[in-house]
Amino acid sequence: MPEIPVEAIANYRPRRILVTGGAGFIGSLLTRRLLDAGHEVLVVDNFYSGTRGNIEDLQGEPRFELMRHDVTFPLYVEVDEIYHLACPASPVFYQRDPVQTTKTCVHGSINMLGLAKRTGAKILLASTSEVYGDPAMHPQEESYWGNVNPIGIRSCYDEGKRCAETLFFDYFRQHQLRIKVARIFNTYGPRMAADDGRVVSNFIVQALTGQPLTVFGDGQQTRSFCYVDDIVEGMIRLMNSPDDVTGPINLGNPGEFTMLELAKKVTALVDGPDIEYRPLPADDPSRRKPDIAKAVQLLGWEPTVALDEGLDHTVAYFREHLASALG
């Protein structure tokens, strides 16, 4: 991966940065990276899907501040940059209260964009590959408009994020806001919630607790899994890119695996579990693979952690996490 340019280091100054959803899986690691870089970080989270346990070790850090707040309500703080991650990102959580999910995507984005407008802050949206729906283009390029069901059980999240992107670009055109939009593909790694319903955490927790691995459909649907450290690096590079680099930019690993291939990788790490087939959920995308040419060209970014290595780290985390939970 290319080194950060010398001129970027020369122009470096500590910033006050807001991370919404900073107690979540990706947000908590992003917060640590920003603190390590010398910035002040204000984490805002309502703990709907994030947990205090993800950030409890940061309490007492002089440059860290935590505020319990729901982004569907306005926020009045002074910041230089905003990483807007607040939204439940797994089906288990976003389908639990779909109206609130849509409000978080839409009202939350309006409130954070209003804050950015008032303070002059640069703002990054953590969007998602789900804006592509069940894609007719493969791999998915940023120019693809997507194939999304607007009235399905996943629509609260898929269409919510599509609307959030609309708002970001309307604020960019209407108010000349400095925006960045990252379309994040399947992400995994330590600090995932054990009960979030994502396939990597599902398989690992099932395997470690001796349950069959649940594969939906015939297991031939594909995903591209990116280790969380790589995603955070991509987000930081996007935020620090020139103002004319607005995105949307795909952040994900172009390695494509079927669900059965992933299941076999997990069973190779955790001996014993069988596979149990279940009906495919409604509107489940058949294929996912990012085209990351833009990220490579504009950010000098591409993933560095292979799936096998990332699964090793993730399994180790869940071994320790589950052992601790069991006493």
Q: Which of the residues 48, 83, 132, 157 is marked catalytic? A: 157
Residue 29: what residue type? L
Beta-bridge mates of residue 250: 183
| Tokens at 323, concatenated | 């052992």
Tokens 């939350």 correspond to 108
Distance separating alpha carbons of residues 299 and 295, to the nearest angstrom: 5
Structure tokens at 94: 């976003």
Residue 317 among the catalytic residues: no
With beta carbons less than 8 A apart as the criterion, state whether 263 and 203 touch: yes
**27 vs 46: CA distance, rounded Å:** 13
Percent helix / strand / coil, the chain, rounded to 5? 40, 15, 40
The DSSP code for 223 is: E
**Strand order through the sheet with 64-68:** 64-68, 40-45, 16-20, 81-84, 122-128, 179-184, 249-251
Least Cα distance to 21 among 235, 300, 168 occurs for 235
Contact 45, 31 (CB under 8 A): no
Q: Residues, the chain, total? A: 327
Residue 22 · residue 45 · CB < 8 Å: yes
Tell me the catalytic residues.
157
